[in-house]
Amino acid sequence: MRHQCLLLAVCGWAVFMLLFVSKFITLNLRDKEEYGTKPHILDKTVTNNLKKTKPQEQTFHTDKPAESTSNELDPHWDAVHAERLNLLKNVCQNASLRNLTYSPITKFVLDRIFVCDKHKILFCQTPKVGNTQWKKVLIVLNGEFKSIKDIPEPLIHNHERNGLPRLSSYSEPEITKRLTTYFKFFIVRDPFERLISAFKDKFLKNPRFEPWYKHNIAPAIIQKYRRNRTETKGLQFDDFIRYLGDPNHKWLDVKIGEHIIHWATYVELCAPCEIEYNIIGHHETLEKDAPYILKKAGMSNLVSYPPIPPGITAYNRTKVEQYFSRIGKREIKRLHARFQGDFKLFGYDEPEFLLN
């Protein structure tokens, strides 16, 4: 009897300590893929960042989590987000824009949505906006790994093994239950700047070395969409834009498969008019949106979003002008026609400076 009591007490203590420790996981890795930090200098970067920045930006102190949370949040941010959702609703309801805003909830969409059952959160993946960071946050929250540092790099995108399942892996009633009751969010950014970012990341720099972009996808796009037959270099931005703006781009999308997530519209990726998301974050205001999302999802006492390198999220019109300066007006208009839904739904200014 005495032994059993003792055992119980020891187990209780162990469980308590585990809970205690897991409460204060801190997440402070830069995103190698999306922010271009080299893997082997990562730890050093993190340590330096920790030294330089104020502690409450990275971690929540055990004694006053509520205070550090409120410090980070702009009191007007509720209104900003309410306005975003209101705009989304209005544009979704506009019948004349239905073509541009409707997307059925297909397996492709369900594949994009990641499930955190433990905290009842759904996250739709939209590359080039700090998504890998959110995935890491959710992987840790799901409990498969104790901290971000423990997640092996190859596992971050391996959803069979990282404890962050896709919504498509559930049965239909389970999917419906989650879609109707969980907290749902995703992040967007200016549609054209996003395409530039995808082009640079996948076809120019390709930092994670994914050879299929250069060796399979680029030649397929060039074969169909290259105008300048004397050009022998790899995929050029104008080839890419002609592919994206082609109303008949679907046949090539099918050949390319899941990799199109880097340039498919947000409408196609997340079905924002069919799924009632709670929050739409903007990459341009990620510094405020990340802590806001964590708070609204009830995670802000568990984790904080990793530090965001300064200047990385701001919209850069000069860059957009530069990239599009060699693209014909007709081609830009075709591209805009396809991405117009994303501009309207998420309140991005129409790129008049490119169209007129």
Q: Which is nearer to ligand NAG, 296 or 336 (CB)?
A: 336
Sign, CA torsion 230/232/233/235: positive
Q: Using DSSP, how many helices (H) and how many strands (E) does the chain show?
A: 20, 4
Q: Which is nearer to ligand NAG, 174 or 231 (CB)?
A: 231
* Pick from 1, 80, 20: nearest CA to 280: 80
Candidates 4, 99, 248, 356: give the one binding ligand NAG (CB under 6 A): 99
Q: 172: Cβ–Cβ under 8 A, 6 or more apart, which residues?
A: none
Least distance to ligand NAG, CB of residue 249, Å: 13
Binding mask 291-330 for ligand NAG (x = CB under 6 A): --------------------x----x-xx--x--------
Contact (CB, 8 A) for 196 and 289: no
Least distance to ligand NAG, CB of residue 65, Å: 34
Q: Does 71 bind ligand NAG (CB under 6 A)?
A: no
Contact (CB, 8 A) for 211 and 145: no
Q: 252: Cβ–Cβ under 8 A, 6 or more apart, which residues?
A: 220, 221, 224, 243
Vertex 226 angle, CA 225 and 228, to 5°: 150
Q: Which is nearer to ligand NAG, 154 or 310 (CB)?
A: 310
Q: Which is nearer to ligand NAG, 62 or 318 (CB)?
A: 318
Using the contact rule CB under 6 A, the part of the chain among 81-89, 96-104, 217-225, 249-257 near ligand NAG is: 96-104
Q: What is the dihedral of CA 101, 106, 109, 110, to 10 degrees?
A: 140
Which tokens is 132 given?
Answer: 């890998």
Least distance to ligand NAG, CB of residue 310, Å: 10
Using the contact rule CB under 6 A, the part of the chain among 25-33, 92-100, 149-157, 184-192 near ligand NAG is: 92-100
Site for ligand NAG in 206-265 (CB under 6 A): 228, 230-231
Q: Does 96 bind ligand NAG (CB under 6 A)?
A: yes
Longest alpha-carbon distance in the chain = 87
Q: Does 86 bind ligand NAG (CB under 6 A)?
A: no
Question: Residues in the site for ligand NAG, rule: CB under 6 A?
Answer: 94, 96-97, 99, 228, 230-231, 311, 316, 318-319, 322
